[in-house]
Amino acid sequence: MFRILLASGLLVVSAAVVSAQEQPSAAPGQGQAPAFPTPSVFPIAWQFDFTHASPKRVIVEVPGQANAEAFWYITYTVTNNTDRERMFLPVFEMLTDAGAVIRSDNAIPDAVFQAIKLREDSRFLQTSIQIGGQLLLGDDQAKDGVAIWREPSPTMGQFSIFVTGLSGEFASFKVGDKEFTLQKTLQLNYQTIGASNDPANNHIKAIDEHWVMR
């Protein structure tokens, strides 16, 4: 099964999110259980412009390590065309085919970032940690960034990337006595196609992308 968070379906378990199985059942005579929040159809908050490339795999020989290591990354450009300067504090998380949720840029050696920067030929490229801060107005103030993960498995299968920090839309959701604050998040879904024993030559297929509350 493709374990992705759908606006109208399954809910990925994370620190700020509950699973669909944990959603409260309606008590007798109380009708249906409350629906999980979904992004507004019409704009109700600011939102950055965000473009991105497909995820890529790279092998890097990290100084001090006996063997080269595989990493995944996604490059992007973020632009502030809202009504004023705003803070850009992105969070990138990968949901693997096995159901693990992995945050990007976790103890990634600088040699990996430098190898990606060289490969992409982007002198202004920044990591998700470096790029955080005030985002000025206009296309000429756009920033180029990259989110990086250690390869979780040579057989990636289907996976998703969640990008938080692009919108000011929030929603509250209560489960029992617990109340959760959810943020409008961009979900990118992908599938690797090819032989499981030859990940270097696998093709990355984009399935879809859409907004969810997470």
Q: What pLDDT sits at residue 126?
A: 97
- Cβ atoms < 10 Å from Cβ of 198: 9
This prediction's pTM: 0.82
What distance in Å separates the CA atoms of residue 146 and residue 116, rounded to the nearest whole number? 9
Q: What pLDDT sits at residue 201?
A: 73
**Which residue in this structure is represented by tokens 């850009």?**
88
Q: What pLDDT sits at residue 175?
A: 83
List the chain residues with pLDDT less than 50: 1-31, 33-34
Q: What pLDDT sits at residue 206?
A: 96
Helix (H, G, I), strand (E, B) or coil at 141: helix
- Whether domain 49-160+174-213 has CATH 2.60.40: yes
DSSP assignment, residue 47?
A: B
What distance in Å separates the CA atoms of residue 127 and residue 115, rounded to the nearest whole number? 12
Q: What pLDDT sits at residue 29?
A: 46
- Alpha helical stretches, state H, 61-130: 110-120
Tell me how many helices (H) and strands (E) the chain has: 1, 13
Q: What pLDDT sits at residue 165?
A: 97
Domain-wise residue ranges, the chain: 49-160+174-213
| CA neighbor of 170 nearest in space, from 162, 178, 182 | 182
What distance in Å separates the CA atoms of residue 92 and residue 45, rounded to the nearest whole number? 21
